Amino acid sequence: MMGQPSADRPLLRAVNIGKSYTSPRAGAKPLVLFRDLSLEVAAGEMVAIVGESGAGKSSLLHILAALDEPSKGEVWCGATNITRLSQRAAAEFRNREIGYVWQFHYLLPEFTALENVAMPLLARGMRREEALQEAHRWMDNVGLADREDHRSGELSGGEQQRVSIARALVTRPKLLLADEPTGDLDNATADSVFSLLREVQREQGPAGVMVTHNMAFAARCDRMLHLHDGKLQSL
């Protein structure tokens, strides 16, 4: 059944990864974010990552999303070593297996909300009619069936994030990554967007990793980890 942590290997495994940024300035020391970081997340589990600004939370998510490479170590998503993929294979893998929600929605302004949600399905070659039908189901799931024809500029911040959640999950990804998905919202809207994210993640059962500055939301995840000094510690 979906939604249950699987008894076998965790869906996501980051193994002894390191990340440092080298500075173009001559003589400058590289910036070391983490040296030996490991993380496992099971299917159906939602892990929150908290930590001060600049700790490397977004950098870590970019590595888990195969958008950036670690300086060392490996990241496995299911049976795939995502640190070994070509750029093209990584893009395809992201489309097939990963859904993400960022602090900024990145909806395409010239398309309707419905078309934005259908986009990942169209990108993988699904017929337009079928993709729009599936997108419609998701707009309904996130409570925005009556906003389908709005463009992103015609939606509130909370609605934009709901559309982003629908777009992230429309492909039924195995891994859901969220980087401060409620960071730009007022308290009440943030609460409703977080609750929605948690609810659809529970229903769909992807492994989830969410970066947040909101300790109350972090506490409502299955586990809370603190990224500090390049290490992930359980809270």
Ligand X SMILES: Nc1ncnc2c1ncn2[C@@H]1O[C@H](COP(=O)(O)OP(=O)(O)OP(=O)(O)O)[C@@H](O)[C@H]1O
Which CB sits closer to ligand X, 55 or 113? Answer: 55
Which residues, 6+ apart, have CB-to-CB distance to 225 below 8 Å?
A: 39, 47, 48, 49, 50, 232, 233, 234, 235
Determine contact, residues 100/178, Cβ cutoff 8 Å: yes
Residue 104 near which of ligand X, Mg ion, none (CB within 5-8 Å, type-dependent): none
Contact flag: residue 55 with ligand X (CB under 6 A)? yes
Which CB sits closer to ligand X, 68 or 203? Answer: 68
Q: Which of residues 62-121 bind ligand X (CB under 6 A)?
A: none
Which CB sits closer to ligand X, 3 or 54? Answer: 54
Which CB sits closer to Mg ion, 44 or 181? Answer: 181
Q: Is the alpha carbon torsion for 186, 189, 195, 201 positive or negative?
A: negative
Report which residue type is found at 94: R
Distance CA 104, CA 118 (A): 19
**What does 51-116 look like in DSSP terms, one character per residue?**
--TTSSHHHHHHHHTTSS--SEEEEEETTEEGGG--HHHHHHHHHHHEEEE-SS----TTSBHHHH
Q: Among 3, 21, 104, 149, which residue interacts with ligand X (rule: CB under 6 A)?
A: 21
Q: Which of residues 174-213 bind ligand X (CB under 6 A)?
A: none
Which residues, 6+ apart, have CB-to-CB distance to 189 below 8 Å?
A: 156, 157, 158, 182
Minimum distance of Mg ion from residue 57's CB (angstroms): 5
Contact flag: residue 58 with ligand X (CB under 6 A)? yes
Minimum distance of Mg ion from residue 20's CB (angstroms): 17
Residue 54 near which of Mg ion, ligand X, none (CB within 5-8 Å, type-dependent): ligand X
Number of residues that bind ligand X (CB under 6 A): 11
Contact flag: residue 33 with ligand X (CB under 6 A)? yes
Which CB sits closer to ligand X, 51 or 205? Answer: 51
Minimum distance of ligand X from residue 156's CB (angstroms): 23
Contact flag: residue 30 with ligand X (CB under 6 A)? no
Determine contact, residues 169/120, Cβ cutoff 8 Å: no
Minimum distance of ligand X from residue 3's CB (angstroms): 29
In the β-sheet with 231-234, what is the strand arrangement from edge to edge? 98-101, 175-179, 207-211, 46-50, 223-228, 231-234
What kind and span of H or E run contains 117? Answer: helix 113-123
Q: Among 31, 89, 123, 219, which residue interacts with ligand X (rule: CB under 6 A)?
A: 31
Contact flag: residue 59 with ligand X (CB under 6 A)? yes
| Residue ranges in contact with ligand X by CB under 6 A | 21, 31, 33, 51, 53-59
